[in-house]
Chains A and B, each alone.
Chain A
Amino acid sequence: MNGFRGGYNVRLDGRPSRGVDVLAAPERLYLPLRSQTVAFTNVTVADHQVVLAGETLATAPGSFDIPLLAPLPGTVHLNATDGHIVLDTPPEDAMCRARPPEATGPMQDQLVARGAWEFLRDIHTGRVPSPLRTPQAAVVSTVQLEPFQTRGDVLLARDVPAFIRGLGLLHALMGEKPLFLAIPNAESEITELLQTTAREHPWITIVHVPLRYPAGDLRLLARRVGLRCDAALPVWGTGVAGVLAVDAALTHGKAATTRVVTLGGPGAPQPRHVEVHLGYPLEKLLPPATGPTTLRVLNGGALTGAQLDPGQCGIDNQCAGLTMVKEHESREFFGFLRAGSDRPSASRCFLSTLRRPTRHALTTALRGEHRACVACGHCESRCPAGIMPSLLHKCLWAGDEREAERLRLDLCVECGLCTYVCPAKINLQKQFGDAKENIRSRQCPAPRQIQ
């Protein structure tokens, strides 16, 4: 692969600036027992048990027993809210200062015990990697371009030395295997500093990434540098938050129980970044509901995030952004005939093409009617994986998953751009995601955990 293909930046209104507000600890934390890929099904504490900060509340048997840690000392309530462990935290003066037993042993064990391991991903599976297996390499991306998830530059601006130290620890953790560091293809003090660091450490290879979504995607980066990921030779991937968590865990012995979360999108009353404890009540972060379903809150970005589960009460361990988009309500008269100078588009079919790109307050409108594919080619031109989404769609529409496999459906990174640009409003992303899941379950009917 020679360069980055396709891509497109959706310029969505409600982009936060670079500062991070550190929010005070609340009196009650709602720790979700399930996030996008991790399920903490093995609860290890009893109802009304008093726990210390950093103590394990539950573990995830399907993800190498990574723990759900208590972000603060407090009293556990197991049945107060469905799907959550509720933690009542005492006022600061009554707070127990004692620390849980120190984690010792190999670095992997320390990272697992301090909640930093879950920041790592096996690029091939998209899941938490096995702590017992040494990877062939690691890819660290400092570029996050999806509106809106916590950007690498926001985290880097807080502590670059910690990040550089974290890279060294990650390198040692991998048994001194190569590390690929993706930085933006734009000049800044931070990128300059990272390049200088890379010159001093030959095991770091810098990969310059254009500022065009989804160029910072870990799977695309692994392909870009020629890494072949498979189950036998895993490639680790992580972002800035992961490297900082590794540094905090191994240098300072600190548990990763806080998250920097982006509150953005056209529906966000005050777009900003906040640092909060895991389980921080969502009702304190989101605007109060003023009417029936006028705002859609997404756990993640506008292109790949899932609608926030109405039952979820607190920040989960994988949350990097809450994107708020207003629900679509109005209907335009002869909308398709408007000149469209106020409609930024990936195509050149609107007068907005002649304007400087501006941010736009998009709603959840489908902006068209479902139609059969007209083979316009917009999906293919934006696809970062170099595959042919319209052809894949036709195969899957005809129920031919084997042909879709032959057309390299496996290369799809589910960035959502094909669906975003499709004029026929076909949800290719969902169709491809479902088909990949079917193929995966057909190939390995009962997935076994690698221990």
Chain B
Amino acid sequence: MNRLLNIFHALRPRFEGDGPLGKLEPVFAAAEGLLFAPGDRTGASPHIRDPLDVKRYMALVILALLPCLAAAVYFFGLRVLAMVAASYVAGGTVEVAIAIIRGDEINEGFLVTGLIFPLILPPALPLWMVAVGSAFGVLVGKELFGGTGRNLFNPAMVGRCFLALSYPAAMSSGWIRPGHNLAGRLTQYVDASCVDALSSATPLGAAKHGELAPWLDVVAGAVPGCAGETSAVAVTLGGAFLLLVGISNWRTVVATLGSFAALNTVLHLSLPGSFGPTLWQLVAGGFLFGAFFMATDPVTAPTTNLGKWVYGTLIGSLTVLIRGLTGYVEGVMFAILLGNTCAPLIDDVAIRLRLRRLRDER
């Protein structure tokens, strides 16, 4: 590896300051940083540091998403990988372009956004739409706010919301029936032209008409739906991993799932026509994915612990209400975006309460 490192050392002057490729310095630094741990030393106290860095942090989120990606490929075919590639290329291009314009570093955050985004889209959605949505999400959802760490809304959700409002027909019809044999659709490339494989409704859509998909299919993910959201098993596996390593906050997850279960149970008992059985509702659709991977995004969630409880409760409750009382089949997207909107306000109140507790300390 020393040889490769020496190549980087030799190339570096070309990418620095007034070098011929000075503008591409962020790209060079990102490539070098990806391959080799940085050689930087601490400048002032503390003179030693914990090994955790943002790259590791994001890499673990990607690792947690792999079961969902595997389930998506298994149930909906190889096209999911093409969607991931389209998302990465478009989102990455925007990220790199902005980094070059700003002369700033390329952030690892887009690697997570770029993977989450195709997983929350219908698997037969045209690839150009995936690319446009990804670019929009990164540009408007993140970069306009100042980049990773400064965004108000979850960039993947912004991209999805943009597509849902701009191309409602494609976003509500690009469903694929999962393969039901042992090999699933592992060897198939299914797109909108394969009419036989398309499905008209997701389990949540069918449930609006009183048809509940079989339990086992819903839990395993063998139902039509957004690419990475259908398999409750894969989502829970990845979500549990994130909780175990401490990257997602358990308060947000418990509050989101708990409030959803509590409110849905109450409303199911009062209005069984509008609100389905709680456990079925919990595992169907994108709620679990949203609770484990999107509500827990630390940047767009409140920073205080009390705030996380309130935020989770808000998202869980809003999802139930949107699913049951509006014309929308799935409510988690709007619930999370509304939660993101309220996060600063929730934090403000929680901080006031906390400062009151600290008032007597000198």
* Residues of A that sit less than 8 Å from B by CB: 1, 10, 12, 223, 228-230, 296, 298, 302-307, 323, 325, 327-329, 331-337, 340, 343-350, 353, 362-378, 380, 386-388, 390-391, 406-408, 410-411, 416, 419-425, 427, 429-430
CB distance from B95 to the nearest CB of A (A): 14
> In the complex, which residues 293-314 of chain B have their Cβ closer than 8 Å to any Cβ of chain A?
298-299, 301, 303-304
Complex alpha-carbon distance, A423 and B148, angstroms: 14
Identify 11 new A-B residue pairs, CB closer than 8 A, beyond the known A347-B246, A350-B52, A366-B49.
Answer: A296-B47, A304-B46, A328-B39, A331-B5, A332-B36, A336-B55, A364-B42, A372-B149, A374-B148, A377-B303, A423-B50
A369–B54 touching, CB < 8 Å: yes
With contacts A298-B47, A429-B46 known, is A367 near B53, CB below 8 A? yes
Q: Chain B residues with Cβ under 8 A from A306's Cβ?
A: 44-45
With contacts A307-B47, A366-B49, A420-B49 known, is A376 near B35, CB below 8 A? no
Q: Chain B residues with Cβ under 8 A from A387's Cβ?
A: 358
- Residue contacts A-B, CB under 8 angstroms, 22 given: A223-B361, A229-B362, A230-B362, A302-B45, A305-B47, A307-B47, A329-B39, A331-B36, A332-B37, A333-B36, A336-B59, A350-B52, A365-B37, A366-B42, A368-B51, A368-B53, A369-B40, A369-B55, A372-B107, A377-B303, A386-B361, A430-B44
B46–A331 touching, CB < 8 Å: no
Complex alpha-carbon distance, A177 and B214, angstroms: 75
CB of B328 closer than 8 Å to a CB of A: no
B43–A427 touching, CB < 8 Å: yes
Q: Chain B residues with Cβ under 8 A from A380's Cβ?
A: 303
Q: Chain B residues with Cβ under 8 A from A369's Cβ?
A: 33, 38, 40, 53-55, 105
Q: Chain A residues with Cβ under 8 A from B51's Cβ?
A: 340, 343-345, 350, 367-368
Q: How many residue pairs between the two chains, A and B, have CB atoms under 8 Å in the bound complex? A: 206
- Of chain A, the residue at the smallest CB distance from B36 is A331
Q: Chain A residues with Cβ under 8 A from B57's Cβ?
A: 349, 374, 376, 423
Q: Chain A residues with Cβ under 8 A from B33's Cβ?
A: 369
**Pairs of residues from A and B, 10 with the lowest C-beta to C-beta distance, nearest first:** A368-B53, A335-B37, A372-B149, A416-B46, A366-B40, A336-B55, A303-B46, A343-B51, A362-B48, A332-B37
B355–A407 touching, CB < 8 Å: yes
Complex alpha-carbon distance, A223 and B360, angstroms: 9
With contacts A328-B41, A371-B107, A390-B303 known, is A364 near B54, CB below 8 A? no
Complex alpha-carbon distance, A366 and B46, angstroms: 10
CB distance from A96 to the nearest CB of B (A): 42
CB of B174 closer than 8 Å to a CB of A: no
The one of A346, A374, A421 in contact with B298, judged by C-beta atoms closer than 8 angstroms, is A374
A interface footprint on B49-77 (CB within 8 Å = 1, 0 otherwise): 11111111101100000000000000000
- Of chain A, the residue at the smallest CB distance from B40 is A366
B362–A223 touching, CB < 8 Å: yes
A interface footprint on B243-279 (CB within 8 Å = 1, 0 otherwise): 0111101000000000000000000000000000000
The one of A365, A374, A429 in contact with B41, judged by C-beta atoms closer than 8 angstroms, is A365
- Of chain B, the residue at the smallest CB distance from A235 is B362
Complex alpha-carbon distance, A88 and B351, angstroms: 60
* Residues of B that sit less than 8 Å from A by CB: 1, 4-5, 33-57, 59-60, 105, 107-109, 146-150, 244-247, 249, 298-299, 301, 303-304, 351, 354-355, 357-358, 361-362
CB distance from A346 to the nearest CB of B (A): 5
A374–B246 touching, CB < 8 Å: no
- Of chain A, the residue at the smallest CB distance from B4 is A333
Complex alpha-carbon distance, A349 and B53, angstroms: 10
With contacts A367-B49, A368-B52, A408-B358 known, is A337 near B38, CB below 8 A? no
Q: Chain B residues with Cβ under 8 A from A348's Cβ?
A: 244-246
Complex alpha-carbon distance, A377 and B35, angstroms: 27
Secondary structure dominating the interface of B: loop
With contacts A296-B47, A302-B47, A365-B49 known, is A349 near B299, CB below 8 A? no
CB distance from B151 to the nearest CB of A (A): 10
Q: Chain B residues with Cβ under 8 A from A429's Cβ?
A: 44-46
With contacts A223-B362, A377-B303, A391-B303 known, is A423 near B36, CB below 8 A? no
Q: Chain B residues with Cβ under 8 A from A419's Cβ?
A: 46, 49
Complex alpha-carbon distance, A372 and B105, angstroms: 10
- Of chain B, the residue at the smallest CB distance from A408 is B358
A411–B303 touching, CB < 8 Å: no
- Of chain A, the residue at the smallest CB distance from B347 is A391
CB distance from B98 to the nearest CB of A (A): 13
Complex alpha-carbon distance, A428 and B112, angstroms: 26
Q: Which of B44, B46, B105 has the most CB of A within 10 A?
A: B46
B55–A368 touching, CB < 8 Å: yes
CB distance from B347 to the nearest CB of A (A): 8
- Of chain B, the residue at the smallest CB distance from A323 is B47
B362–A371 touching, CB < 8 Å: no
With contacts A331-B5, A348-B245, A407-B351 known, is A367 near B148, CB below 8 A? no
- Of chain A, the residue at the smallest CB distance from B249 is A377
Q: Chain B residues with Cβ under 8 A from A367's Cβ?
A: 37-38, 49-53
The one of A329, A406, A425 in contact with B53, judged by C-beta atoms closer than 8 angstroms, is A425
B42–A372 touching, CB < 8 Å: no
B50–A346 touching, CB < 8 Å: yes
A423–B46 touching, CB < 8 Å: no
CB distance from B245 to the nearest CB of A (A): 5
CB distance from B5 to the nearest CB of A (A): 6
Q: Chain B residues with Cβ under 8 A from A425's Cβ?
A: 49, 53
B107–A347 touching, CB < 8 Å: no
CB distance from A28 to the nearest CB of B (A): 30
Complex alpha-carbon distance, A367 and B33, angstroms: 11
Complex alpha-carbon distance, A335 and B361, angstroms: 42
A371–B358 touching, CB < 8 Å: no
CB distance from B103 to the nearest CB of A (A): 14
B54–A374 touching, CB < 8 Å: yes
A347–B50 touching, CB < 8 Å: yes
Q: Chain A residues with Cβ under 8 A from B148's Cβ?
A: 371-372, 374
A336–B362 touching, CB < 8 Å: no
A325–B49 touching, CB < 8 Å: no
Q: Chain B residues with Cβ under 8 A from A386's Cβ?
A: 357-358, 361
- Of chain B, the residue at the smallest CB distance from A416 is B46
Complex alpha-carbon distance, A391 and B38, angstroms: 27
A228–B47 touching, CB < 8 Å: no
Complex alpha-carbon distance, A230 and B53, angstroms: 39
A411–B45 touching, CB < 8 Å: no
B54–A368 touching, CB < 8 Å: yes
Complex alpha-carbon distance, A228 and B351, angstroms: 23
B38–A366 touching, CB < 8 Å: yes
